[in-house]
A and B are shown apart, each in its own frame.
Chain A
Amino acid sequence: MTAGYHEYKLRLIAMAPVHIGSGETYTAKNYIYENENYYFPDMGKLYLKLRQYPGVVEAFEKFLVNPSRRSNRLVDFLHQYKIMDRDFGGYKIPETGYESAKRGRLNEIHAFVKDGYGNAYIPGSSLKGALRTILVNEHFGNDNIAWGGVDDIFNEIRVSDSEPIPVDKLRIVQKWDLNRKKFEPKGLPLFREAIRPQTKIDFTITTTTARAEKLIDQLPQMAKRFYERYEKQFLRDFPDKYVQPNHFLAPIYLGAGSGLWTKVDYEHVDLRGIQRRSYWKMKLKGKGVMKLTLYKRQSLKRIENGKQVKYMLINNDDHYYEMGKCGFKLQKKN
C-alpha cells in the first residue's frame, strides 16, 4: 500500500565553512567579545537586566542610536558601566583566530538560520535547491519543469530539514575574494556564522514515484558530473592549491557565498544580463571571482582496511577553503 515511497538517508559532510542565512545580521552593538568567545545575548533580556542599574537605560539607548563607528562595541559599553552580568540568554561562539586580523572587531555578522529553540539547522529547502541545480544541469536541461497538478516531479522528491545542529558547532568566517588577475585573496568586511568543516549533517529524502526514485538513485553520479562541468567552466581558471579535493564524497555546494556557478543553469545563464544589472561596486567581471574563506586546516578521517586514513580538506598552507563546499553520501533505506 505504501509501495512507491522510498526513503534515503543523505549524509552531508561540511568540507568547508557553510553558511545558510536567516536574513538577520549582527553589528558590534549586538555581541560581546570576551574570553575568546563571541557572545550573542538575547537583546530583550539584556535590556531587562540593564533596567536594574540606575541611569544605565538612558545611556544604553543613546549608545544604540549613536552612529559613531568608534564607540560602537557592546562590550565597551558594559565595561564602561561596570556591568559584570553575562546571563542575558542567547549563545556563544568560540573564536578560531581566523575570523579577521582585527580580533573582536567584526561588523556585519550574518546570522545562521535557527529553529524555534535556537538550534541551527539546514532547511530542506536549501538542500533541495542545490539538488535541483544539479538535476537541472545534468538531467532536465532547463529549469522549465512542469509543476502543480498531477505532473510535478519536484513534489515527488521530498527533502527533510536537517537534524538540529547545536550552536556551538558554528564558527564565524570572513568572506575572501580571489581575483582572477593577481590571484591574491582579498578580505571583505562581511562575516558569516558558518557550520565548521567536518560537521556531519543528516537528511531524509523521500521519493513517492518510480521516476523520482530513479533520479535520486543517480544523484551521486550526477553531482560528480555537475562538478566536472563547474571545474571546466570556472575552477580551472584558478590555482590548484585553492581547489579542494572531493576525496570519497559526491561534491555539492550549499548556501551563501559559494558563487554564481554553483547556482545557475549553465545552458541558459544570462551572463551579459547579470553584468549589466549588478550595481557598479559589485559588478561581475568575466566569470567572477573565486569565493574563499579562512579556517584552520582540518582533515576527514575514515577507517579503511582497519586503518585510519586522513584526508586533508585543503591543499594550501594559507588556510583557504572554498566557501560552501560539502560532500555527501547517499544510502537507500528501503
Chain B
Amino acid sequence: MMLSKIKISGTIELESGLHIGGSDAFAAIGAIDSPVIKDPLTNLPIIPGSSLKGKMRSLLAKAYNETIAQTPNDDDERITRLFGASDGGGENGDQPVPARLIFRDSFLNNAQELLDKGAEGYTEAKFENTIDRTTAIANPRQIERAIRGSEFNFELIYDLTDEQEIDEDMQTLLDGFKLLELDYLGGSGSRGYGKIKFINLHAETVFGDYDASAINEELGA
C-alpha cells in the first residue's frame, strides 16, 4: 500500500504554570535564575516537540513495558515503532527503527487573548523557598513560568506504513495523551507545575488516501 501521512492537531491548554527550562547564562543578579525556553524571534514561551515526545514516551514506557527498560531501545515494540529506536530494526535487528511519529514544536497562539484577560505578561516569576528543617534557614529562588490559561497549537504527524497496526498505534497515542493530562509537562510537576489539557484534537489525512474518520471518532472530534 501507499504511504499516508495523518496530521493530528489540536491545542494544549495550561491549567497551571509551565516551566520548561531555557538557558540562564545571562540572568542578572537577583533576577529570575531559572527562565523558560522561548522563541528567539517573538520572545514568547514555546513547548519544544522534544519535551512532549520525551515525556509521552517515558509515561508510556511505565505503562506498557513489562520489565524496566535499560535503554529506550528496550521499550515495548508498540512504543519503539511509534517513537523510534537506534537498533532492533531491519531484518537482522541491527538497523534503526524509524519513528512513525513526528512531533512539532508548539507555539503560543492566544497571546492577545491573555492580555485581554488581564495578564501582565506571558510569563510570571514565582518566588520559592527551600527551608532547612534543622536550621529553618530559607534559601529563596525565582523561577519563571508560562502562565496558566496559555494555549499552544499542537501538531503531530503519523506516518501510516502498516495499516494492520494503525488501531493499536492510535490506542498507544490516545493513552499517551491521557497519561500526559494525568501527569505533567516540563519541570517541577510534583509541586503543581505543568498541568496540561489537550483540547479539540482531530485527525486529517494530509498525504495519501487513508480515511481518518475512525481516528476522529476515537479522538472525540
B192 adjacent to chain A (CB < 8 Å): yes
Q: A2-B63, A160-B16, A264-B134 are in contact. Are A116 and B192 (CB under 8 A)?
A: no
Query: In this complex, what residue of A is CB-closest to B127?
Result: A23
Count: A-B pairs, CB below 8 Å: 107
Query: Which interface residue of B16, B120, B136, B189 has the most chain A CB atoms within 10 A?
Result: B136
**Do the beta carbons of A2 and B149 come within 8 Å of each other?**
no
**Which A residues, 257 to 273, have Cβ-Cβ distances below 8 Å to chain B?**
260, 263-265, 268-270, 273
Q: Pick the contact of B190 from A123, A155, A260 — CB < 8 Å?
A: A155
A103 to chain B, nearest CB (A): 30
**Do the beta carbons of B192 and A159 come within 8 Å of each other?**
yes
**Do the beta carbons of A21 and B127 come within 8 Å of each other?**
yes
Encoded as 1 (CB less than 8 Å from any A CB) or 0, chain B from 86 to 128 comes to 0000000000000000000000000000100111111110111
Main secondary structure, interface of B, reads loop
A166 adjacent to chain B (CB < 8 Å): no
In the complex, how many residues of chain B place their beta carbon closer than 8 angstroms to a beta carbon of chain A?
A: 41
Please measure, in the bound complex, the distance between the C-alpha atom of A155 and the C-alpha atom of B134, giving whole angstroms: 22
**Do the beta carbons of A160 and B192 come within 8 Å of each other?**
yes
Chain A residues, CB < 8 A from B123: 116
**Which B residues, 178 to 218, have Cβ-Cβ distances below 8 Å to chain A?**
178-179, 182-184, 188-193, 195
Chain A residues, CB < 8 A from B193: 124
Chain A residues, CB < 8 A from B68: 150
Encoded as 1 (CB less than 8 Å from any B CB) or 0, chain A from 292 to 316 comes to 0000000000000000000000000
Query: In this complex, what residue of A is CB-closest to B68?
Result: A150
A262 to chain B, nearest CB (A): 10
B35 adjacent to chain A (CB < 8 Å): no
Please measure, in the bound complex, the distance between the C-alpha atom of A159 and the C-alpha atom of B189, giving whole angstroms: 8
In the complex, how many residues of chain A place their beta carbon closer than 8 angstroms to a beta carbon of chain B?
A: 40
Chain B residues, CB < 8 A from A208: 183
B205 to chain A, nearest CB (A): 27
Q: Pick the contact of A116 from B121, B127, B133, B189 — CB < 8 Å?
A: B121
Encoded as 1 (CB less than 8 Å from any B CB) or 0, chain A from 60 to 87 comes to 0000000000000000000000000000
Chain B binder among A51-59, A128-136, A235-243:
A128-136
**Do the beta carbons of A123 and B191 come within 8 Å of each other?**
yes
**Do the beta carbons of B190 and A117 come within 8 Å of each other?**
no
**Do the beta carbons of A117 and B133 come within 8 Å of each other?**
no
Chain B residues, CB < 8 A from A129: 129, 131
Q: A268-B133, A269-B133 are in contact. Are A23 and B140 (CB under 8 A)?
A: yes
Chain A residues, CB < 8 A from B134: 143, 264-265, 268-270, 273
Q: Pick the contact of B135 from A133, A157, A161, A274 — CB < 8 Å?
A: A274
Q: Pick the contact of A273 from B124, B126, B135 — CB < 8 Å?
A: B135
Please measure, in the bound complex, the distance between the C-alpha atom of A124 and the C-alpha atom of B191, giving whole angstroms: 5
A96 adjacent to chain B (CB < 8 Å): no
Encoded as 1 (CB less than 8 Å from any A CB) or 0, chain B from 135 to 163 comes to 11100101000011100000000000000
Q: A23-B140, A115-B148, A118-B120 are in contact. Are A159 and B63 (CB under 8 A)?
A: no
**Do the beta carbons of A159 and B178 come within 8 Å of each other?**
no
Please measure, in the bound complex, the distance between the C-alpha atom of A252 and the C-alpha atom of B118, giving whole angstroms: 33
Report, nearest first, the 4 A-B pairs whose CB atoms are least far apart. Answer: A124-B192, A116-B147, A125-B191, A23-B127
Binding site for B on A (CB under 8 A): 1-2, 5, 21-23, 113, 115-118, 123-125, 128-129, 133, 136, 143, 150, 154-161, 206, 208, 260, 263-265, 268-270, 273-274, 277
What are 27 A-B pairs with beta-carbon distances under 8 A? A1-B178, A1-B179, A2-B182, A23-B142, A116-B114, A116-B124, A117-B119, A117-B147, A123-B191, A123-B192, A125-B192, A128-B192, A150-B68, A154-B190, A156-B190, A158-B190, A159-B192, A161-B16, A208-B183, A263-B131, A264-B133, A264-B134, A265-B134, A270-B135, A273-B134, A273-B135, A274-B136
Binding site for A on B (CB under 8 A): 16-17, 63, 68, 114, 117-124, 126-129, 131, 133-137, 140, 142, 147-149, 175, 178-179, 182-184, 188-193, 195
- Besides the known contacts A160-B192, A263-B133, 5 further A-B residue pairs in the complex with CB atoms under 8 A apart: A116-B119, A124-B191, A125-B192, A129-B129, A154-B190
